[in-house]
Structure 1
Amino acid sequence: MNSQVEINTEQATPAESGGNSAVLACRQLRKSYRQGSNELEVLRGVELEVKRGEKLAIVGASGSGKSTLLNLLGGLDTPTSGEVRVAGQDLAKLNANERGWLRNSSLGFVYQFHHLLGEFSALENVAMPLLIGKHSVASAREEATAMLQAVGLGERLSHKPSQLSGGERQRVAIARALVTRPACVLMDEPTGNLDRATAREIHKLMDKLNREMGISFVIVTHDPDLAAALDRCLHLIDGKLESNWHEGDRV
């Protein structure tokens, strides 16, 4: 493959269409679950606004609803009440196909476990969102190659997940999340399954890509080093996001 392929960081994205306006926001977001005759309220009127290019950490105790919040922000779950806007569009006003298109074009997702498709190569895994978005095979392969080179895996294009280390697999997952030039990437414990040295490399990589591409990151994490390195850190307490976060609150 051509090692000189470069990412087009000036391509227009949904994140750029609104200047410095929010690329992701929610208003009075609530989520409840029925447990027998009882109703468990996990989120109680969450308010959040994420600006273009912002890096935001969400921390909180296990079971506090962090992953639930991330799923609601990504349109993977439906709130009990409240509003979620992605690139200025209210998810509740879109049909299933429109929500799917918006997720594919405006959001990227990275999880603690990479969720790569084991039968496909790194290149094929990263190209998948572009193929779903109706890009040509040639265009998808070119963009995927460029993104894998950007995350330092230009020599691993044909390797399958089983042939990659844990850190390399997570880099592939990050490349897959970024390849569509989304407005925002949602990450759920992206370094939680990695050793500290590899986690630090992933931290540096996310910071580099954020600066070069202007993509926002919302990261649910228990990693205090990662949280401290981001622009903002919010603590999910009693179903609401609080900005006053102290050293003793880290979990």
Structure 2
Amino acid sequence: MNNTDDAMASHRMSSNMTAMESIPAEAVLQCRALCKHYRQGSEVLHILNAVELEVKAGETLAIVGPSGAGKTTLLHMLGGLDLPSSGRVLLGGDDLATLDDRQRSALRNRKLGFVYQFHHLLGEFSAVENAAMPLLIGGMGKKQARAQAAELLERVGLSARLEHRPAQLSGGERQRVAIARALVNRPACVLLDEPTGNLDRDTADSVHGLLEQLNKEFAISLLVVTHDPALAGRMQRVLELRDGQLQEQTR
């Protein structure tokens, strides 16, 4: 290759890198003109009104707002647990409304994790068995699923609690198991609904720090619904749901 060819190749590489750098981060989860309403007798109750949202890969954001504003309803639709009255939810480019229940469940298991205010662990199973559940549901062999879950539980500080059942764990430990379960499939995004609502301040702060650490380590997007200003303040973006629509808060 002569000097001219080298220069041209270098220019093309530089141009390609510039083009790549200018492309915005891929959205892992989106909703477009999302509406949800319920009929009560002759009246129609509008919960969400043309909500627009885009969650980028690896970003963290919080949704805040008054009680009854529809935050959990929005989270359920983003997670494919409920379908909108109109509008679209796109998970990795797939429109959830176009999938049947089986397809939606399979996609949700692969690409999303869930953490709730109540841990929803299965009492008859150990911590490692609870954390491995999404892998087993996805068809992974028991030995491999257990090993992967155990590794993640060690990451969240529970290496000495693998065989303990939920009743033998503290509230903070149970929530750490729930977080490990949500992350075990390496999902694109984890949806969290008041994840520290039942914890004391010190334990909640510990969980907040853990979420930050895991977001940085695995580059998994976090979308948190919370009333906790301390947790919301740790997120990169904060959006308020009010009168059925989302508005970004300035800092």
Cα deviations across residues 193-239 of structure 1 (Å, max 9, x unaligned)? 00000000000000000000000000000000110111000000100
From 189, 194, 198, give the equivalent of 1:189.
194
> Which one has the largest radius of gyration?
2
| Cα distance, 1:169–1:19 mapped onto 2, change above 3 Å | farther
Task: Tell me which residue corresponds to 2:53.
Answer: 48
**Is there any run of 5+ residues in structure 2 with no aligned partner, and where?**
1-22
Q: Secondary structure at the match of 1:31?
A: strand
Query: Is 1:217 aligned to 2:222, yes or no?
Result: yes
User: Which has the larger share of helix?
Assistant: 2
Q: How many residues align?
A: 229
Task: Tell me which residue corresponds to 1:35.
Answer: 40
Instruction: Give 1:162-201 correspondences, 5 Å limit.
Output: 162-201=167-206
Supply the AA of the counterpart residue of 1:192.
Answer: G
| Cα distance, 1:223–1:144 mapped onto 2, change above 3 Å | same
Query: Is 1:113 aligned to 2:118, yes or no?
Result: yes
| Backbone CA RMSD of aligned residues | 1.2
- Alignment partners' CA distance in 2, 1:147 and 1:197: 22
- Alignment partners' CA distance in 1, 2:205 and 2:156: 14
Q: What is the TM-score with the length of structure 1 in the denominator?
A: 0.89
From 202, 207, 211, give the equivalent of 1:202.
207
Sequence identity percentage:
62
Quote the offset at 1:37 in angstroms: 1.2
Given that 1:234 and 1:245 are in contact with CA atoms closer than 8 Å, whether structure 2 keeps it comes out as no
Given that 1:107 and 1:186 are in contact with CA atoms closer than 8 Å, whether structure 2 keeps it comes out as yes
**Is there any run of 5+ residues in structure 1 with no aligned partner, and where?**
1-17, 247-251
Quote the offset at 1:245 in angstroms: 5.4
Cα deviations across residues 19-73 of structure 1 (Å, max 9, x unaligned)? 8210000000000011111110000000000000010000000000000000000
From 71, 86, 101, give the equivalent of 1:81.
86
- Alignment partners' CA distance in 2, 1:90 and 1:21: 16
Quote the offset at 1:92 in angstroms: 1.4
From 19, 26, 31, give the equivalent of 1:26.
31
- Alignment partners' CA distance in 1, 2:49 and 2:246: 9
Task: Tell me which residue corresponds to 1:98.
Answer: 103
| Cα distance, 1:245–1:83 mapped onto 2, change above 3 Å | same
